[in-house]
Amino acid sequence: MPTNLELKIKLKSFKKIKSMLKKINAEFVKTLNQKDVYYKTKTGLLKLRIENGEQSFIKYVRNEKGKDRFSDYYVLNISKGNSEKFFQDIFPIEAVVQKKRLLFMFDNTRVHLDTVKNLGYFLELETLVIKGKQDAKKRYNQIMKLLQLNEYDEIRNSYRDLILRNPK
């Protein structure tokens, strides 16, 4: 199972962060329109992601109380069909999260600028663990410093958790 190191923070706007991403030459990859359907499960999180017409089933486990937010995940790509209808007959739906995501890359870290329906603006970092957790932590700390993210309060929850607390 792949692993990444994650961060989520709430923003008032993307203006400052976009300027800083440009300054450090982060690569803008693309805009993603995502719908995440979260299902009830006994351990971890399980979601169907519908993204720009493509579908994947994602399972992940993350210790929200640990010092660092390392996440183990597995992605199953779905080639065709109405997977949302298929899975709703198997798993109880817990929450639905809709967002527009601007995806940037910097030194093997995915930087997400998310506009989440009913929640607002967020920044997420996902640093992929390639050469061990220490290496990932070093690269993660570098982008944290470059983007001055230590001045923000970290949110140690998934969008699923935030939607469940703030249903509209």
Q: What is the chain's pLDDT, residue by residue, as a tens digit (168 residues)?
A: 799 999 999 999 999 999 999 999 999 999 999 999 999 988 889 999 999 989 999 999 887 777 888 999 999 999 888 898 889 889 999 999 999 999 999 999 999 999 999 999 999 999 999 999 999 999 999 999 999 999 899 999 999 999 999 866
Q: Are 157 and 64 in contact (CB under 8 A)?
A: yes
Domain with residue 118: its CATH number is 2.40.320.10
Beta bridge partners of 28: 104
pLDDT in tens, 8-42: 999 999 999 999 999 999 999 999 999 999 999 88
Compute how many other C-beta atoms are within 10 angstroms of the C-beta atom of residue 81: 9
| Closest of 115, 126, 111, 124 to residue 152, by C-alpha | 124
Number of structural domains the chain divides into = 1
Lookup result for tokens 């109405």: 82
- Measure the CA–CA gap between 147 and 107, rounded to whole angstroms: 13
- Residue 53: which domain range? 3-165
Of 80, 156, 55, 71, nearest to 110 by C-alpha is: 71
Give CA–CA dist 102/115, Å, rounded. 9
Q: How far apart are CA 158 and CA 126, in angstroms?
A: 13
